[in-house]
Amino acid sequence: MTGEPSLFSRASAEIIDLHRFFVDWFVAARANTVDFGRFERAMGKDLSMVAPDGQVLDREAVVDHVRSSRASCDDGFAISIEDIRPGWQDADTIVVLYVEAQLRAGNHSRRQSSAVFTTSSSAPNGVEWRHLHETWLQVPER
C-alpha cells in the first residue's frame, strides 16, 4: 500500500470540490474570489458531456458555458452532492455515479450523473473529468 487515497476517494473529492467551485463562480457576491484555472485544469482535453436535455457538448463548449455563466446567480444558489458511489474501474479510470441537487432562484432540481475520471498528476485531486452524463430526475411534489 502506498498510502495514496484510492481512485474513488480522489474522484469523489473532485466531484465535491468542483461543485463548490461552481457555487462560488456562479454566485455574484463570490465570483471575484475564484480561480477559473482550477476548472480548466480539471477538465480533460477530450472531455465530452451529455447535458440533462440530451445535448452533447465538447470540452470547448463546456468551458465556454461555465466561463460565460460567471456571477449569474444570487446568494440563494446552492448545490449538494448526494449518493456518491463507484461504478466500473480499472487502475487509472473510474466511473462514479452521484446525484446533484440544486437550488436556483427558489427552484429545486435534481439530476442523476455519471462521470468518467482518469488519473492526472496536473489536475486538482489527481483526476480529470473525461466524460459526464446528466439526466433530469423528477422532483417529488411537496
Residues 88-111 have pLDDT tens digits of 999 999 999 999 999 998 899 999
The string of pLDDT tens digits covering residues 11-63 is: 999 999 999 999 999 999 999 999 999 999 999 999 999 999 999 999 999 99
Asked if residue 126 lies in contact with residue 120, where contact means CB atoms within 8 angstroms, the answer is yes
Alpha helices in the chain (DSSP H): 7-26, 36-42, 59-68
Q: CA 59, 101, 12 angle in degrees (round to 5)?
A: 60
Strand 43-50 relative to strand 127-137, pairing: parallel
Q: What is the pTM of this model?
A: 0.93
Cα end-to-end span (Å), the chain: 48
